[in-house]
Amino acid sequence: MPASLQESCCSYVLLISRFKVCCSADRVTVHFINRDGERLTATAKEGESLLEVVVNQNLGIDGFGACEGTLACSTCHLIFEEDVFQKLDAITDEELDMLDLAYGLTDTSRLGCQVCVKKAMDGLTVQVPMEVADMRRELEVGKQSK
Ligand code: FES
């Protein structure tokens, strides 16, 4: 092999290995326990919301994220492990208001559209509650019955 070609191949291999290190460094593994108990595993990017992880990787959680992250449905309700929950960013009043309307609320509940993936979450497991409430439908039903 000519020296110039060998050098360019080595440079190429070096470039690829750097790319892999770079790409794997900002990847985070997240597990969702679905309503039926099935464990769904996804590789997320730092900065993505958990709603984006579910949608982008087509995880098949029925009815999840109906309002597409506009804080209008509470279908993205997730239950976190206590230690992880304590490290999440502070909850906003808007998220708290919508979360209050979710079924099966726990002390470690958050809305997946409002929680962004961080490297420290690698290996995170979140529970999808058994029941889901789409507050947009509840409000529509309320309007029609008046
Ligand atoms: S997707 Fe509707 S509140 Fe999160």
Return the minimum-mean-pLDDT range out of 25-29, 98-102, 133-137: 133-137
- pLDDT for 38 equals 96
Q: What is the pLDDT of residues 40-69, one digit of tens each?
A: 999 999 999 999 999 999 999 999 999 999
Please give the distance, rounded to the nearest whole angstrom, from the Cα atom of residue 21 to the centre of ligand 1. 33
Asked if the structure places residue 20 within a domain, the reply is no
Asked if the structure places residue 138 within a domain, the reply is no
More confident residue, 72 or 19: 72
In whole angstroms, give the CA distance from residue 128 to residue 61. Answer: 8
Q: Is the model's pLDDT at 7 over the cut of 90?
A: no
- pLDDT for 45 equals 94
Asked if the structure places residue 46 within a domain, the reply is yes
Asked if the structure places residue 9 within a domain, the reply is no
More confident residue, 6 or 98: 98
Which CATH number goes with the domain that contains 32?
3.10.20.30
Domain residue limits at 63 = 27-127
Six-digit token pair at 101? 């309307």
Please give the distance, rounded to the nearest whole angstrom, from the Cα atom of residue 41 to the centre of ligand 1. 21
E strands present in 21-133: 27-33, 39-45, 77-79, 109-111, 124-127
- The helix, strand and coil proportions of the chain, stated in percent and rounded to the nearest 5, come to 40, 20, 40
Asked if the structure places residue 57 within a domain, the reply is yes
Question: How many structural domains compose the chain?
Answer: 1
Asked if the structure places residue 72 within a domain, the reply is yes
In this structure, the residues whose C-beta lies within 6 A of any atom of ligand 1 are 51, 65-67, 69, 71-76, 98, 111, 113
Give the position, in ligand 1's atom list, of the atom nearest the Cα of 64. 1
Asked if the structure places residue 139 within a domain, the reply is no
- pLDDT for 12 equals 42
Asked if the structure places residue 86 within a domain, the reply is yes
Q: Is the model's pLDDT at 23 over the cut of 50?
A: no
Main-chain phi, psi angles of 80, to 5 degrees: -100, 160
